[in-house]
Structure 1
């Protein structure tokens, strides 16, 4: 899981040049603060909507996981009845066949040196 960084302080926007202290400058500062306040409210609303969508999705995931767990449980129960360990298994319909040719033994000493088996597929 990714590490969370600590929340940082939100700094106000600063003008690069200082303005003269006039009535218009104060009204401009009030306007800037009002605009920033509206922006923050909009951001909070969008975060709240996203939070609600995430909680809704979590509830859907929990519901789906619960349903899949129940399906797996019923499937396990059905498979357990179908494949009982004490039940007799039916005889296989096809038996595997293979032809094995052993090499001719020349002498007893040659057998101790090596062993070969030829398989025909």
Structure 2
């Protein structure tokens, strides 16, 4: 199994350019925040879809394993009660 890395808080991407105080910079920052918000919302939607798929698969597995588990338990009890061999011994000579 893969170990999941520890999750840290998502940090904003840093820029190497020093911030400039202008209206264009304010608009650019607003645009970058809007893009990041859309990206995170899309990622959250994908995670919700994946979560739903996993829950459906778990429900299917749970519904299949309970009856099979009961049958296996019943078969084991039957095999323990019936200890007589199910074969006949035959001797062959050359």
Give the TM-score range, shorter chain: 0.7 to 0.9
Q: In structure 2, what is the equivalent of residue 116 of structure 1?
A: none
What's the TM-score, normalizing by structure 2?
0.75
Secondary structure, aligned partner of 2:12? coil
Q: Deviating runs (4+, > 6 A) in structure 1? A: none
**Equivalent residue pairs, number:** 94
Structure with more of its chain in helix, by fraction: 2
Quote the RMSD (CA, aligned, Å).
2.9
- The higher-RCO structure (CA 8 Å, 6+ apart) is 1
What's the TM-score, normalizing by structure 1?
0.61
Structure with more of its chain in strand, by fraction: 1
- Gap regions ≥5 residues in structure 1: 98-120
Q: In structure 1, what is the equivalent of residue 73 of structure 2?
A: 73
- Gap regions ≥5 residues in structure 2: none
More deviation, 62-71/24-33: 62-71
The structure with more radius of gyration: 1
Q: In structure 1, what is the equivalent of residue 38 of structure 2?
A: 38
